[in-house]
Structure 1
Amino acid sequence: MDNVRAELDRLIQRTNSDYAGLSRLLGRNSAYIQQFIKRGTPRKLDDEDRRTLAAFFGVDEQVLGGPPPATKHGMVEVPVLDVRASAGYGAIAESENRQTCFGFDERWLKKLTPSRSSSLSIVTVTGDSMEPTLSDGDEVLVDASDHASRLRDGIYALRSEDTLVVKRVALKPGGRQITIGSDNPAYPTWSDVDRGSVHIVGRVIWFGRAL
């Protein structure tokens, strides 16, 4: 558990987050995260708290003390989070609790991504800024292990404070600046963005749509 506390503290420092802000994100008192890291109280993170922190930092739950992913009859369970990722001007991510699970065939999933299933989650898209690629109501599979350190051209879930959005990211020559855009030309594009100023939650690697 000491390794979990050390890793959480490292993630906080790396992302310029703060103890009080993360505590509020979890709906806890402002000293909760500091007490967990510095005093060892509570002994371990609550399951929902761990899940929310893992999604916020874009890491495997196992990094923060989570269990290995569950498999049933060759099926891997991927959590569907109770949060919507805006394909518009931004959605407030007030809750990131597990809503339900979606089962993927383990062999099929390995062809899609080499990442561990604990890095994966599904969120629902709202808005039309990513039309025609993604539509309002689509469910997207986000790989949280495929984020800033492996950034390349593609569609990503991004976070700005409490806002979660799905946008297309393109690297500019040199790799330090990126363009963040929408597939729908009616929406703006942000050029020459310092990649270090953007919190990349994970890469969108699959989507599902009701007909």
Structure 2
Amino acid sequence: MSVAERLSRIRKYLGLSQKDMGRRVAVSGTTWQNYELDNAAPNAHVLARLSDEGFDINWVLTGAGEMRKDGALETKSVAGFAELPPREIGREKLAGGNYVLIPRYALRALPREGGAAATTMEDVSLNEALAFRRDWIERELGARPADLIVVEMTGDAMLPTLVPGDLLLVDTSAPRMRGGGLYAFNLGGALAVRRLQARLDGGLTVSSDNAALYPPEDIEQAALERVKIVGRVVWRAGRL
């Protein structure tokens, strides 16, 4: 993998366009595009910006080691939204060295007509991280820690399966449908957790477990661009 390919991987990891990535490191989108085309090399200023973002510059330049610095807090953008800003939290190594910090995102529920709630990303912020055992994530969930985010369930659409306050682990790797199941997704500016099921005609059915209040909605194939998958819900925790 070349430097250009590693820079492209960083941008895709952050979920940014070339223009937005350029803005992120204080260069033009065209300049960043030239980095990815291997027509130019990033200068010390750009490398310093990437280091501030938590990327290992030795990996960027040589491919040796890991993309992220040891202990760097994982941050990422959610499909269809700007990257979420981190707050400073303790980054000390946890006992045993087998724990990883998964970022937790706080969502705000806004009222809809009829009193139901829609969760928007307008005021989303990374306000803390939760520690999980790395081996448990890999063994039980078959996931990479860097691909996971924690989302708190809001609203009553998924009662009784999910209740407000439940914590959900969402796998954001390759955000697309991988069979029917529970997904976090952005639909018209609102972040929702619902069951998604592909239809034979190429469309999509969005359904809630609280069907009495939230009847299923069919989305035609031509309108699928409205649905931006954030990731699949792979685990939940909540009070008894």
For residue 112 of structure 1, give the secondary structure of its aligned residue in structure 2: helix
TM-score by length of 2: 0.61
The 3 A distance-change label for structure 1 pair 32 and 118 is: same
The 3 A distance-change label for structure 1 pair 83 and 3 is: farther
Indicate conservation of the 8 Å contact 1:154/1:169, yes or no: yes
- Give, as a single letter, the amino acid of the residue that structure 2 aligns with 1:159: N
For structure 2, which runs of at least 5 residues remain unmatched after alignment?
A: 36-41, 55-73, 82-92, 111-115
Larger radius of gyration: 2
The CA deviation at 1:91 is 2.1
Indicate conservation of the 8 Å contact 2:104/2:129, yes or no: yes
The 3 A distance-change label for structure 1 pair 95 and 5 is: farther
**Percentage of matched positions with identical amino acids:** 26
Q: Deviations over 1:92-138 (max 9, x none)?
A: 343342x2222222332223322210001101111001111111111
The CA deviation at 1:157 is 0.5
The CA deviation at 1:4 is 5.1
For residue 123 of structure 2, give the secondary structure of its aligned residue in structure 1: coil
1:123 aligns with 2:151: yes
The 3 A distance-change label for structure 1 pair 108 and 9 is: closer
> Alpha carbon RMSD of aligned pairs, Å?
4.0
The 3 A distance-change label for structure 1 pair 85 and 77 is: farther
Give distance in 1, aligned partners of 2:191 and 2:142: 25
Indicate conservation of the 8 Å contact 1:121/1:141, yes or no: yes
For residue 151 of structure 1, give the secondary structure of its aligned residue in structure 2: coil
Match of 1:160 among 148, 164, 187: 187
Give distance in 2, aligned partners of 1:8 and 1:171: 31
For structure 1, which runs of at least 5 residues remain unmatched after alignment?
A: 59-69
TM-score by length of 1: 0.68
1:201 aligns with 2:230: yes
Indicate conservation of the 8 Å contact 1:85/1:164, yes or no: no
Q: Which moved more, 1:88-97 or 1:108-117?
A: 88-97
Higher relative CO (Cα under 8 Å, sequence separation at least 6) belongs to 1
